């Protein structure tokens, strides 16, 4: 069904080849983590921004307090790691 190109790992002549579509690349892992991190951070910050924008006639945004930003970063880090673990195919 799918055409796969397999090559043995250099220096490991007796190792089983890993199919090309199952290899883990650093760029792919970083992209998955980044997508999860941005999604988690936006999930915390977007309600704050929407609440401030719908508050009334004020046109400026109020910067969230430090604990709120730490919560956003923590949620982003957690979601990024979860997405990375769930979607990564480790050989």
Digit-coded pLDDT (tens) for 9-68? 566 566 666 566 555 677 778 888 999 999 999 999 898 888 877 876 666 767 788 898
Domain count for the chain: 1
What is the distance of C-alpha 68 from the center of its chain?
20
Q: What is the residue-wise DSSP string for 22-64?
A: G---HHHHHHHHHHHHHHHHHHHHHHHHHHHHTSSS--SPPPP
Provide CB contacts within 8 A for 35, sequence distance 6+: 80, 83
pLDDT of residue 15: 60
Range of 55's domain? 23-87
pLDDT of residue 13: 60
Could you identify the residue written with the tokens 């195919």? 89
- Whether residue 74 is contained in a domain is answered as yes
Q: How confident is the model at residue 74 (pLDDT cuts 50, 70, 90)?
A: very high
**CA angle (68, 50, 52) in 5-degree steps:** 70
- Whether residue 83 is contained in a domain is answered as yes
Q: Which of 48, 84, 88, 54 is nearest to 68 (CA)?
A: 48
pTM of the model: 0.63
- Whether residue 13 is contained in a domain is answered as no
- Whether residue 57 is contained in a domain is answered as yes
pLDDT of residue 37: 94
> Two tokens at 42?
């936006």
pLDDT of residue 86: 87
């Amino acid at each position: 069904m799918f055409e796969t190109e397999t090559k043995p790992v250099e220096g490991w002549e007796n190792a089983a080849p890993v199919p090309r579509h199952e290899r883990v690349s650093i760029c792919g892992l970083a992209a998955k983590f980044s997508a999860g991190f941005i999604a988690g951070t936006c999930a915390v910050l977007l309600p704050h921004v929407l609440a401030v924008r719908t508050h009334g006639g004020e046109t400026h945004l109020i910067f969230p307090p430090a604990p709120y930003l730490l919560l956003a970063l923590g949620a982003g880090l957690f979601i990024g790691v979860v997405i990375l673990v769930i979607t990564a195919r480790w050989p």
